[in-house]
Amino acid sequence: MIPFAQYLRGLDGDDDLLTLAADELADVPPDVVAAEALRASGPVIRYNQVDGVDLASGSFSGPDRMQRRDAQPWSRLALGLGLEPDGSFVSVLETITGLGPAGQTDGPMYDTQAASRTVDSVQALGLPQGADDVWPALTLGMASIATADGTYWAPIHGSIVGDETLRVRTPAALAALLDGNETISIALGVPPAAIMTAYLLAVTDHVAVPIQACGVADDVPLVPTNGGLVPSATEVVIETTVADHQPDFQSDRREAWEYCLESTPLALSVERVIATDEPVVPFSPVGRPLADDLQLTGVTTAATLYHRVNNYWGISPVEWVLLPAEAELGFCVVATDVLYAGFEWQLANILFTFSSLFDTVIIVDEDVAPTDLGRVLGDIWVKAHPSRDWIFSDASAPAAQRPRYRQDGQTGSRLYVNAAWDPRWEDSYIAPRVTFETSFPPAVREAARTAWRTRHDGDAAGGDHDER
Amino acid sequence: MAADSFRDYLQLLADDALVSFDEPVSWDLEASAITMLANRTDGEVPLFESVGATDVDAALVGDPYRGPRSRPWDHLAQAFGLSAGLSGAAYYDAIIDRLRSPCEPRLLEPERAPCKDVVHTGSDVDLLSFPWPYVHRSDGGRYSNLHTIVAPDPETEWGRWSSHRMMIHDDALASLLFLAGEQVPNRYYYEYEPRGEPMPVAAVVGAEPAVQCSTEMWIPTGRSEAAFAGGLKASPVDLVPCETNGLSVPATAELVIEGHVLPNERLDEGPFGDYFGYMNGPRRSMPVFAVDAITHRAEPRVPFCVEGTGVGYGQNSSSTLQTAAAGPDATLGLQAAGFDVDAAVPWRFTSRTVWVIATERSYPGVLHELANFVFTTWGMLHIDFFVFVDATVDAHDPRAVLTAIALNADPDTDFHQFGVERMPKVPLNIYQTPDEKGSADVGTSKAKTAKAYIDATSDRPPEDDAETESLRARAQHLLVDAGVSPEPFDLLEQRERRDGDRR
């Protein structure tokens, strides 16, 4: 388990964090700065504030894959999970899955609370007010409530509308668990493993599984609060009670997890705010490209789908599943061994069964690396036949949740693009790729690498292996 | 100051975008392998000064037109005397302005033409004395694939310029990939060959950048590429008459191969790892180019393209030329045809198969009309898809386009097959079986294909984002001032322009 502040120090140590002083921000709202940093595939931004907590944006996001880059969108998340940032994507997916419902666990573990300093009011936190916001915004929060059966976590976001009043949105499934217990704790700046757990439980509609029965309990030390258990290393805890279950609360802002399950508004009264000595909390430029909440939703959904499809047929033909944030989670890419003719149809449609986020699935060959979105964005047009391999269902499917079209309940078609080789084709039909390995014999490759290396120290990898 | 020759252009790259190899490098895969490394790592353009085993002291240049990954057009912008660092939209605007003012070429006396430093005719001709690269080990032979084919055109004084890969066979013979549906091959297949008449052609290797760019453009019939090349560089292109036929060729070219495409003769061509990023075959029979003369500069520089590396994340000369030359030209062409088009931009990841068009939907059915126009007037053999996005979407930003497709294109209503398997297709494709590709005499596949367009425009009214853009520009400056690289930002020049106006 890596606490959030330590996680940021690690990113700083990797030269992946830029600190801005309060006076540098001047008249530009933090959410605009955060969005531009993400758009540029830039570093995590830490905003040192004179009044209030420090803020961090981009901490759960990463660079896009519209160009070949050394880092991946999930590299920071890998670091936050205690994995190698340049480790495999599948190891990230499997680690995330392991945080969720696990049957038996050894946990929970307990520790002392890092947040020991009382803050005068929630306003004093100085949470960021976006360019279009009336009030300061709370994003990337983790709600915790407790019942006799345990503690439940879910994502939460909202606005600070007064010294003692919050208006928030959280999964309806969490609100339903309150059942007379009106206390909710909001944890800000939790360990990456904890926020990923909250998102995982939301996107899989497992909010009603107590965290004592989740893998995260074996990994993240906890501490009790008035609401429920929260990670002991949490930067800021806001203890609240529910003031209104059906507030008159109009807000267009939706964190990305809300495309996966129903959310509900709540009005909360703040009872107490506690923080660490030098608190730092993450925020997401919600609704902007590559925002942190979007990446978290995409990666946790991909982890779920990867786990489910590879446990469905008794074998594991799927190499990886991706919901690219670059496409706003509007389609799903899956790399697979096409076991037999028609398998691609089964695979696409089972993905539609397991997620309502998208209604387009792209199938690529098993040798395509998850880091090589560029190849996916070439193969769908080059390998897939424009009529035979763009397969539309009949028009009776419900619309997916993420796209903007057909939000009136009309049914329509789903689409899968088969950019994998047809298993019925003879090998002689299969066009070999033009790669460094396939285009040149070993002696020429070595000579070329040597020649290039003499001019570019350490920059002659050349082979396709660097895409994986 | 525009680059008036390929050498001028290389000089322009010399500061920080060119890397020379003085040690011997073989044309036999080695130069291509090093170039592939350069392409993959966004490195400098490699210049191979010492290519072994050739009679002529020639250099090879690997993918000279590949631009930086973040701004592929940057080198060509400088070649035309424009600023470096332009956004895609600003570069397109500047090039379109140039193309609106074509400039007729100037005919030089042969004595003043650098391309005639050395002249070989008749039995002196030896194609194999030049270091034509063997590009991929599965290729059918050695290729010239970054050149301009000059062919006669009764409607223009300066002939027609186009690009067709050329496989070298011996000292005086090559085969040309002629695919019916393109203008020069059509003239050969349907006019010269039926008359039993050889078609005069010249292959111009190492022409100046404006010539290479106009070669990639779809120029309307009756207009000449030479005049648009002059427009591109805002001064006339110098031409010079050929030694053995009536064609005129760019005078500053490194190397000119004059000859005829023989009627009713065929030689093997391919396979070759072409722009799809896959080896494509099968080996086919293609028209024969019989060489009559070769003229060249002293120590010619021979450019070549490592095809197949310009897909996915990769860039090479051909993908860059699509983006930097064919794109602005197509944008202007659609505007001239009366369409309210903001930009027509090749898709960065497979630039000859998919194009993105940012446009207003000015009346019902306009996208169908646009698709009908483009599928029937240009690119019909190569391009399979058009993606239409709102004019407010930056067509140069593939992430923005991807988002538009994912969120706006309804599988139910926005994917339009434009005639299911009724359209012609190049046999280079990899999605047809060898039987479907067949061996049609005129170079197209035996089987037809489908073409499609995707309506990724939004049904929502556009948001007024002037204030948002101003805030974004300030944020970008703040981040750059704090140490973030300015490379990826799109609004810095807006602020600089405004500051300039204030001053």
B214-B219-B222 Cα angle (round to 5): 125
Nearest-by-Cβ selection for B399 from A289, A402, A429: A289
Q: How confident is the model at residue B419 (pLDDT cuts 50, 70, 90)?
A: low
Confidence of residue B463 (pLDDT cuts 50, 70, 90): low
Between B283 and B467, residue with greater pLDDT: B283
Query: Does the distance separating the beta carbons of A131 and B471 come in below 8 Å?
Result: yes
Residue B496 has pLDDT above 60, yes or no: no
* Region B11-21 average pLDDT: 96
Residues from chain A contacting residue B409 (CB–CB below 8 Å): 405
What is the rounded CA–CA span in Å between residue B18 and residue B13? 5
CA distances from B17 to A213, B81, B372 (A): 58, 17, 41
Residue in A44, A290, A381 to test binding to B, most B beta-carbons within 10 Å: A381
Contact A226, A237 (CB under 8 A): no
Task: Output the pLDDT for position A95.
Answer: 97
Q: Is the pLDDT of residue B50 over 90?
A: yes
Please tell me the number of Cα atoms within 13 Å of B41 on its side-chain side: 25
pTM: 0.94
Residues 6+ apart with CB under 8 A from A137: A31, A127, A128, A129, A130, A157, A158, A159, A160, A253, A283, A286
Write b or e for each residue in B168-189: b if 16 or more Cβ atoms lie within 10 A of its Cβ, otherwise e.
bbeebbbbbbbbbbbebbebbb
- CB pairs < 8 Å spanning A and B: 262
* B431 closest CB neighbour out of A372, A384, A441: A384
Residues A448-468: tens digit of each pLDDT: 999 999 988 655 555 544 333
pLDDT, tens digit (0-9, with 9 covering 90-100), for B73-119:
999 999 999 998 899 999 999 999 999 999 999 999 999 999 999 99
CA distance, residue A463 to nearest chain B CA (Å): 9
Instruction: Tell me chain B's radius of gyration from C-alpha atoms.
Output: 23
Q: What is the predicted pLDDT for the residue at B500?
A: 45
Three-state secondary structure call for residue B90: helix
Report pLDDT digits (tens) over B229-254. 999 999 999 999 999 999 999 999 99
CATH of domain A310-429: 3.40.1670.10
* Domain B337-455, second-level architecture: 3-Layer(aba) Sandwich (3.40)
* Whole-angstrom distance, CA of residue B54 vs CA of residue A120: 82
pLDDT at B335: 95
Our CA-based measurement puts residue A358 at a distance from the nearest CA of chain B, in whole angstroms, of 9
DSSP string, B228-259: HHHHHHTSPPEEEE-SSSS-EEETT-SEEEEE
Contact B184, B128 (CB under 8 A): no
* Interchain contact A428–B (C-beta under 8 A): yes
Which value does ipTM take for this structure? 0.94
Residue B499 has pLDDT above 70, yes or no: no
The answer to whether residue A439 neighbours chain B at the CB level (below 8 Å) is yes
> Taking residues B32-45, what's their average pLDDT?
96
Tell how strand A415-419 and strand A360-365 pair up: parallel
Question: What is the pLDDT at residue A424?
Answer: 87
What lies within 8 Å, CB to CB, of A61 at 6+ separation is A38, A73, A76, A284, A290, A291, A292, A294, A295, A325
Question: Quick one: residue A189, left, alpha or beta (phi over 0 = left, psi -120 to 50 = alpha)?
Answer: left
254-293 in A: which are within 8 Å (CB) of B?
289
For residue B279, the distance in angstroms to the closest alpha carbon of chain A comes to 6
| Burial grade of B324 (CB within 10 A; 0-12, 13-18, 19 or more) | buried
B305 in Cβ contact with B316 (< 8 Å): yes
CB-nearest partner of A381 from B43, B308, B350: B350
Which residues on neighbouring strands pair with residue B91, listed in sequence order?
A: none
Distances (CA, A) of A80 to A8, A278, A284, A294, B388: 9, 20, 17, 17, 40
State the Cα–Cα distance between residues A42 and A59, nearest whole angstrom. Answer: 11
Contacts of A40 in chain B (CB under 8 A): 476, 479, 484-485, 488-489
Tens-digit pLDDT profile for residues A132-188: 889 999 999 999 999 999 999 999 999 999 989 999 999 999 999 997 778 999 999
Map out the domains of chain B as residue ranges: 6-304, 337-455, 466-502
Q: Which residues of chain A have pLDDT under 70?
A: 457-468
Chain A closest-CA separation from residue B348 CA (Å): 9
Interface test with A, best of B399, B415, B459 (most A CBs within 10 A): B399
Task: Give the amino acid at B360.
Answer: E
Report, at the CATH architecture level, how domain B6-304 is classified.
Answer: Roll (2.30)
- CA distance linking residue A263 with residue A32, whole number of Å: 26
What's the topology of domain A4-283?
Answer: Pnp Oxidase; Chain A (2.30.110)
Mutation target to probe the A interface, by most A beta carbons within 10 A, among B21, B39, B40 is: B40
pLDDT score of B202 more than 50: yes
Q: Which of A36, A402, A440 sits opposite B475 (nearest CB)?
A: A36
Domain extents in chain A: 4-283, 310-429, 436-467
Does A396 touch chain B if contact means CB atoms closer than 8 Å? Answer: no
Query: What would the mean pLDDT of B471-482 be, rounded to a whole number?
Result: 93
Q: Give the closest-approach CA distance of A381 to chain B in angstroms.
A: 7
**A328 and B468: CB-CB below 8 Å?**
no
Instruction: Give the model's confidence band at B440: pLDDT under 50 very low, under 70 low, under 90 confident, else very high.
Output: low
pLDDT value, residue B487: 85
- Give the mean model confidence (pLDDT) for residues B66-78: 95
